[in-house]
Amino acid sequence: MTRSTRRTAAACVAVLIGLGAGCAAPPPQPPRTPGAAPAAPRGFTLVASGDVLPHTSIIDRAHADAGGHGYDFRPMLAGARAVVAPADLALCHMETVYGADGHYSGYPAFKSPPQVAAGLRATGYDSCSTASNHTLDDGADGIARTLGALDRAGIAHAGSGRTAAEGRGPGRLRAGGAEVAHLAYTYATNGYPLPQGRPWAVNLVDRQRIVADARAARKAGADVVVVSLHWGTEWQDEPDAQQLGLGRELTASRTHSRPDIDLILGTHAHIPQAYEKVNGVWIIYGMGDQVAGEMFNHEGARDARGNMSTIGRFTFTRPARPGERWQVTRAEFVPAWFDPRSDRVVNLNRAAARGAGLAGIRDRIRRTVLSRGAAEDGLLMGR
């Protein structure tokens, strides 16, 4: 898919699949010789990255990067662009909500500058999950500002909503001839109650609902269903019991022998966790924080793991016959580091990073990612 087509696809988001709303017409096919069989649409690549969690230091850096006038998040994200931009479909996780009129804050109640959205778009992201434990940090107003800014940047979103249709519906995108449904859920909202009369404001993790939503998306025409889950235990390298149990249940769910969910993308733990193929479906238990700033663990100590992350990259191949499953035929992870000295994303498999004394960080990420046997199922470390 061309970059212009991705922008069109990204605009077709947050619509309720049950209403049958569709995206713009697919891009024109190349001319073919009379009598020749039409060319089969190719597959597509999907990349996904971890939490975008701007602490106060990150907000200050973006202000400095804008020359003291506004906020510019493009420089700090630029190191991910070489992986993100070439993909047919790129998904991020926007953990925080946006503030307004200069009223921005970091931990514990985050309100980020809305210019984050422009930085994500410039990096190449098409859609973001927005369901997290911080989605209600500024109530319904925070959700509205966040989704509005993403809309203006041309970024699709899933997991929270300004209306019932938007909140309950998945994001719909197109890539390589496939219709992709993006669903997103969070384990909790830090004790903030759902806004009165708006139970759909943010999607909460519930196995039965996730399966029902996935099946509804498939029935409405989705070829690939991707589920983003904000889950797990912070600062724990191993996926916890809830992640393992829910992951098994969701990947085991099938309709007519076809998995209801094709890929699970995990966030929240602040650190990279394992990739694993379960019941024939890839799960990333935790991608780590793509953007966070200098991180402190629950003991109050600086913890370098909080600046480690991965970008997952999956190649989907179209089925031989209509109605069959789109298969992941190549699975990769790219190790990344958010340098707290420069506040920049660093691809740890690029030549410059390999020469900067970061090999030990890269190798730790690799060990964690492969700790549940993903290499035996074909997971590769990419660039």
Q: pLDDT, tens digit, for every residue of 12-36?
A: 433 333 333 333 333 444 443 444 4
CATH of the domain at 145: 3.60.21.10
Residue 23 covered by a domain? no
Place of tokens 């790219």: 334
Can you tell me whether residue 220 is helix, strand or coil?
coil
Residue 29 covered by a domain? no
Question: pLDDT-based confidence at 354, cuts 50/70/90?
Answer: low
In degrees, rounded to 5, the angle at the alpha carbon of residue 210 between the alpha carbons of residues 206 and 211 is 120
Measured CA to CA, the distance from residue 183 to residue 124 in angstroms comes to: 20
Q: Concatenated DSSP letters for 125-168? A: --EEE--STTTTTTHHHHHHHHHHHHHHHT-EEESB-SSHHHHH
Q: pLDDT, tens digit, for every residue of 205-234?
A: 999 999 999 999 999 999 999 999 999 999
Domain extent, residue 236, equals 40-343+372-381
Residue 19 covered by a domain? no
Residue 176 covered by a domain? yes
Smallest Cα–Cα separation from 297: which of 241, 237, 252?
237
The number of domains in the chain is 1
What's the gap between Cα 330 and its chain centre?
A: 18
Question: pLDDT-based confidence at 41, cuts 50/70/90?
Answer: low
Radius of gyration of the chain (CA): 20
Q: What percent of the chain has pLDDT over 70?
A: 88
Q: pLDDT, tens digit, for every residue of 50-94?
A: 999 999 999 999 999 999 999 999 999 999 999 999 999 999 999
Residue 16 covered by a domain? no
Smallest Cα–Cα separation from 311: which of 291, 329, 293?
291
What's the gap between Cα 255 and its chain centre?
A: 25
Residue 154 covered by a domain? yes
In degrees, rounded to 5, the angle at the alpha carbon of residue 15 between the alpha carbons of residues 12 and 20 is 100
Residue 22 covered by a domain? no
Q: pLDDT, tens digit, for every residue of 271-303?
A: 999 999 999 999 999 999 999 989 999 999 999
User: Structure pTM?
Assistant: 0.89
CB atoms within 10 A of CB 191: 7
